[in-house]
Amino acid sequence: MSRSSLLAVTTTALFLSVAPRSAVSAVPTPVSVMPLPHSVVAAEGRLPITAKLTVALRGHDDARLRAGLARALRRAEERTGLTFARTPQAAYVISGDSSAATLVIECGAAAAAVPVLGEDESYTLAITPSQAVLRAPTVHGVLHGLETTLQLLQGDAGGWFLPAMRIEDRPRFPWRGLMLDVCRHWQPMEVVKRTLDGMALAKLNVLHLHLTEDQGFRIESKSFPRLHEMGSDGLYFTQEQMREIIAYAAERCIRVVPEFDIPGHATSWLVGHPEIGSAPGPYVIERKWGIFDPVLDPTNPRTYEILDGFLTEMAALFPDPYLHIGGDENNGVHWSANAKIQQYIRDHDLKDLHGLHTHFNNRVHAILARNGKRLVGWDEILHPDLASGSVVHSWRGPDGIAAATALGFATILSNGYYIDLSHPTVDHYLNDPIPPGSKLTEAQQKLVLGGEATMWAEWVTPETIDSRLWPRTAAIAERLWSRQDVRDVDDMYRRLGYVSRRLEEAGMRHLSYIDPALRRLAGDGASAEDLVLLREFVDLLEPVKVYQRGRHQPDATQHTPLTGLVDCTRPDSRAARGFAAQVDLYLRNPKAPAVAETLSAQLKQWDAMARRLSDGLVKRSPRLREAEPLVQALGAACGAGRDAIEILTHGTKPPARWREAQLSALERAGKPFAAVEFPIMPAIRALVEAAAQP
């Protein structure tokens, strides 16, 4: 897992187009669905959607199906402005003859009251100019099909409609998750619920809640109340609230898997129960991030007494058969310094700290097994002696997957899906639990359950978390749902723009949070023009990648306000990506005057924006003083880019040492500052390099 030491995923940033176009037939109205269905066959015509819409139900019918249908149609009403008729029997639903219904839903059977791994989630959707028919073996398939139908809904001068087509759809992996850290920065109920709504739209089906950490113990324990009372600053979910979350998730076909991180990352456990630590207390909640020494004592009977009671209590609270114990980043400092623990290793022939860790994990495994639970843990739990049936959650990537499956353990991949690290969407999208050309045997591949995006919360608050979660997580969801050969990056980005708006309609705040945040940053004296310029500037920036933010803001703690410039920037700048595409097009044909003019005009506009900000708002706003070097860097970079275009367009020879001077200036301009960076710099550098060629 390693939030502190995970290496950046090394994937190409080139916009590859390698997906087979057969994944979606060429249709007059482009399919803008994410995840892309398993099969789409286009047809002629369209099904009008009007205020006269009616729905007929055939086969199984229950409260969960009705609630999902009501949610879907309410979102359709809000989007279209239409008001669908309510009937006495139930909202939107007609009885009797279904031949005149706009939408017919045929459901084979109920799904499990609480979703379980491996359920049938498939569905088919047939849309003709007269009717849409959604068929599924279970309610879960119906709910997935409704999400697809909502994404297909579109409008033009002729009104609202569904394009005619036939879809057959099913997921590639049964475990499609999102890990949500509510410990580093507390994320309350409203964040969890709206995240579940976004997950349902993207057809993710596992919410992995990271509930204990050095910075907070976020679940109520009635057996050991000092855990949450002393380890949480009063910020935790009561058991009643957690039941509400579990029920809310189940209504949306989502399982809830809790994580209680042990034996390391355990400071919040030890604040209330220092007697189970491997070193003398007292302990206090950590306010910064990293790998800390406190760790549970695996030789102390009291440790297992508390774990047995607590995990038994949690097993009753969380119905899912999987329970995550973390198990990562135990640095061994306190174990190595404790003579009693070292003697225990020798007495039990455990060889080393890893052997002791496995001994601990197996005792926890036994506690979980007695309660009908399967142990899940990060890569560090892997050991030849680990109890069978355990699941290895890999943050280390292909090597971790290969090592775990070679020993017969089921696995989940999160390496490459760390959305908190601010990588562009393409990096996540081309990352695959079983990539093309995988060397895993067929038996090993069957052990790969799927993957999880991970949202660690060192640098997010309830205000900003959606901007890190969405829409990039929808691309990860597609990787886990859609066929392996769906890898067209350009088409993914096209569809991602549509799904981003659908996510906003479903309540995500990744777009809406930005304007209030910018107004706060600019200050009360900012004019409307100032705010337009600031928005244009911020849209050119991205947060620094991997773990660089901690190096830029080394004094930040859990109490530091996250309301600065970096918190207004978002990963994967659309403006920068579009500029890079235009530069690539231009460099393939430098004599193309239209593209050259477009690029030069864009650079001129950005340069003017930087100058106006530098002379105005940046000088007036105390919060924006940190942006002054950045606006100056942008101006320098734009000048270098325009000079390069002039040279390329006219075929002139640059002055002596022009290349070296420009690249040196771009290197200075491109250095991250205030925890942000300009993603347009590589494209401008490419212009300079091209202009310097003979």
Going by the DSSP 8-state scheme, the letter that residue 86 receives in this structure is B
DSSP codes of every residue in 100-119: T-SEEEEEEEPPPSS--TT-
Judge whether 154 and 80 are in contact, CB under 8 Å: no
Q: Which residue, 418, 435, 345, is CA-closest to 378?
A: 418
Which of 147, 329, 542, 677 does the annotation list as catalytic? Answer: 329
Q: How far is CA 12 from CA 124, 428, 431, 486, 636, in A?
A: 35, 11, 11, 17, 27
Q: Tokens 């860097």 identify what position?
A: 633
- From CA 63, how far away is CA 142, in angstroms rounded? 13
What residues contact residue 251 under an 8 Å CB cut-off, 6+ apart?
64, 67, 68
The encoded tokens of residue 611 equal 């100058």
Judge whether 342 and 299 are in contact, CB under 8 Å: no
> What amino acid is encoded at 600 in this protein?
S
CB atoms within 10 A of CB 157: 4
Q: How far is CA 237 from CA 158, 219, 630, in A?
A: 49, 5, 41
- From CA 168, how far away is CA 63, in angstroms rounded? 25
Judge whether 157 and 467 are in contact, CB under 8 Å: no
Judge whether 273 and 290 are in contact, CB under 8 Å: no
Judge whether 27 and 165 are in contact, CB under 8 Å: yes
Judge whether 329 and 286 are in contact, CB under 8 Å: no
- From CA 442, how far away is CA 350, in angstroms rounded? 33
As beta bridge partners, residue 155 has 160
Judge whether 391 and 361 are in contact, CB under 8 Å: no
Going by the DSSP 8-state scheme, the letter that residue 263 receives in this structure is S
Whether residue 471 is preceded by a cis peptide bond, meaning omega within 30 degrees of 0, is yes
Whether residue 654 is preceded by a cis peptide bond, meaning omega within 30 degrees of 0, is no
- From CA 68, how far away is CA 56, in angstroms rounded? 14
Judge whether 478 and 36 are in contact, CB under 8 Å: yes
Q: How far is CA 119 from CA 66, 171, 259, 319, in A?
A: 20, 10, 22, 16
Judge whether 179 and 452 are in contact, CB under 8 Å: yes
The yes-or-no answer on residue 478 being catalytic is no
- From CA 622, how far away is CA 632, in angstroms rounded? 17
Judge whether 552 and 674 are in contact, CB under 8 Å: yes
Q: Which residue, 101, 165, 150, is CA-closest to 130?
A: 101
Q: Give the three-class secondary structure for 149.
A: helix
- From CA 19, how far away is CA 432, in angstroms rounded? 14
Q: How far is CA 369 from CA 311, 375, 539, in A?
A: 11, 8, 50
The encoded tokens of residue 35 equal 């995840």
What residues contact residue 403 under an 8 Å CB cut-off, 6+ apart?
382
Task: Give the up-direction half-sphere exposure of residue 212: CA atoms within 13 A in the CB hemisphere.
Answer: 33
Question: How far is the first Cα of the chain from the last one, in angstroms, to the nearest whole number?
Answer: 48
As beta bridge partners, residue 159 has 156
CB atoms within 10 A of CB 597: 12
Catalytic residues: 329
